């Protein structure tokens, strides 16, 4: 049986990429809801309806577990999905707790989509772990647009980020938490902007560890061929050009591992 990995677009490939490194003999279906990306500026109700459709599709393909590899969809829809479906459904949450515990008096910045920044889920998490009010939240919806158009290294990305970070003293920070899976593609640019000692924390490794534990506990780990099928809003991706694009995105993610 396959593992379903879902995102509004190409962001969740970061989780698929990590899963293929850690759980290389599992088979995967990657579902990008490209008809409806971006999610980060939509209403909670719209997001729930879109994610539910994708989850139903993945279930109809017989997946054994689903990873919602999208912080936005997790914050809007995970409770709904878990109450509706019995199979394991994992979500993604910005890794605020470890960052706050390790920040040693410095600040932590969480960057995410407007929905994630607005939703109660993140505020509840911060309330639980951030007694000293060291966490700042910043919505960067522009990065999703750059990512979806493969504009990772466009000069506008650096301009946009420098402008958005202007109100903050970046030397006060110990960690930048990438609270949106699309944001992993830009680590080279954050490196140019943030002081060397600032760590970039992305949730893919933790999410895949969690996936491995859940599959192991439920006796669902398998030794298959490590295949991946891609779908865009329910349509199978067979076009060579599109498959090549996914391959290129994996190459970029491999490069981003060094930052
Ligand atoms: N990749 C998504 C996330 O992790 C959201 C991107 C979007 O559709 O706005 O939050």
* Model confidence band, residue 234 (pLDDT cutoffs 50, 70, 90): very high
pTM: 0.96
Residue 216: is the preceding peptide bond cis (ω within 30°)? no
**248 contacts 152 by C-beta, under 8 angstroms:** no
Residue ending a domain, among 180, 202, 224, is: 202
Q: Is the pLDDT of residue 178 over 90?
A: yes
Average pLDDT for 30-43 = 98
Distance 152 CA to ligand 1 centre (A): 15
C-alpha of residue 80 to centroid of ligand 1, in Å: 18
104 and 116 both lie in a single domain? yes
Q: Over 90: is that where the pLDDT of 201 sits?
A: yes
Same-domain pairing of 103 and 118: yes
Show which of 202, 227, 248 is a domain's final residue.
Answer: 202
Look up the domain containing 105 and give its range. 96-202
Is a pLDDT exceeding 90 seen at residue 102? no
* pLDDT > 90: percent of the chain: 96
List the catalytic residue out of 78, 112, 178, 180: 180
pLDDT band (50, 70, 90) for residue 83: very high
Active site residue 197: no
* Whether residue 173 has pLDDT greater than 90: yes
For range 98-122, the mean pLDDT = 93
Ligand 1 atom closest to residue 12's alpha carbon, by position in its atom list = 1
Q: Which of 163, 185, 202 is the last residue of a domain?
A: 202
Active site residue: 15, 16, 58, 70, which one?
A: 70
CA 11 to ligand 1 center in whole angstroms? 7
DSSP string, 149-195: TT-TT-HHHHHHHHHHHTTS-GGGEEEEEE-SGGGGGGHHHHHHHS-
Binding-site residues, ligand 1, Cβ < 6 A: 7-9, 11, 37-40, 70-72, 113, 116, 144, 180-182
Q: Please say whether the beta carbons of 58 and 6 come within 8 A.
A: yes
Between the two ends of the chain, the Cα-to-Cα distance in Å is 34
Assess whether 169 and 198 both reside in one domain: yes
Q: Are residues 87 and 178 in the same domain?
A: no
User: Relative to the CA of 38, which ligand 1 atom is closest?
Assistant: 8
> Which residues, in sequence order, are CB contacts of 182 under 8 Å at separation 6+?
9, 10, 11, 143, 144, 147, 148
Domain check: are 46 and 171 in the same one? Answer: no
Question: Looking at the structure, do residues 128 and 189 belong to the same domain, yes or no?
Answer: yes
Residue closest via CA to ligand 1's atom 2 equals: 70
Residue 103 has pLDDT above 90, yes or no: no
155 and 174: one domain?
yes
C-alpha 178 – ligand 1 centre gap (Å): 11
Residues of the chain with pLDDT > 70: what percent?
100
Phi, psi of 15, rounded to the nearest 5 degrees: -75, -40
Provide the β-strand partners of residue 173: 107
- Give the atom of ligand 1 at the shortest distance from the alpha carbon of 8: 8
Among protein residues, the one with the nearest Cα to ligand 1's atom 9 is: 40
Q: Is the pLDDT of residue 215 over 90?
A: yes
| CATH assignment at residue 119 | 3.40.50.1860
Whether pLDDT at 221 is above 90: yes
- Among 34, 38, 113, residue to substitute to test ligand 1 (most atoms within 8 Å of Cβ): 113
Q: What is the pLDDT of residues 114-161, one digit of tens each?
A: 999 999 999 999 999 999 999 999 999 999 999 999 999 999 999 999
Q: Is residue 104 over pLDDT 90? A: no
Nearest atom in ligand 1 to the alpha carbon of residue 7 is 1
Between the CA of 157 and the centroid of ligand 1 the distance, in Å, is 17
Shared-domain flag, residues 188 and 100? yes
């Amino acid at each position: 049986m396959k593992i379903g990995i879902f995102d509004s677009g190409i962001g969740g490939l970061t989780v698929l990429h990590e899963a293929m490194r850690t759980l290389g003999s599992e088979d995967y279906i990657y579902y990008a809801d490209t008809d409806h990306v971006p999610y980060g500026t939509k209403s909670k109700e719209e997001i729930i309806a879109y994610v539910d459709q994708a989850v139903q599709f993945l279930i109809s393909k017989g997946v054994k577990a689903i990873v919602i590899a999208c912080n936005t969809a997790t914050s809007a829809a995970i409770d709904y999905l878990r109450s509706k479906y019995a199979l394991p459904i994992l979500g993604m949450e910005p890794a605020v707790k470890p960052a706050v515990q390790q920040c040693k008096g410095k600040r932590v910045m969480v960057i995410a989509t407007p929905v994630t920044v607005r939703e109660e889920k993140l505020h509840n998490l911060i309330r639980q772990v951030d007694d000293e009010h060291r966490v700042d939240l910043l919505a960067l919806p522009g990065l999703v647009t750059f990512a979806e158009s493969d504009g990772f290294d466009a000069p506008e990305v650096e301009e946009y980020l420098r402008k958005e970070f202007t109100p903050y003293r970046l030397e006060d920070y110990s960690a930048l938490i990438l609270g949106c899976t699309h944001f992993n593609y830009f680590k080279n640019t954050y490196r140019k902007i943030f002081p060397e000692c600032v760590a970039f924390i992305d949730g893919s490794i933790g999410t895949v560890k969690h996936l491995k534990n859940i599959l192991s506990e439920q006796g669902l780990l398998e030794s298959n061929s490590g295949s991946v099928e891609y779908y865009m809003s329910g349509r199978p991706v067979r076009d060579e050009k599109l498959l090549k694009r996914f391959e290129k995105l994996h190459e970029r993610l491999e490069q981003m591992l060094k930052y």
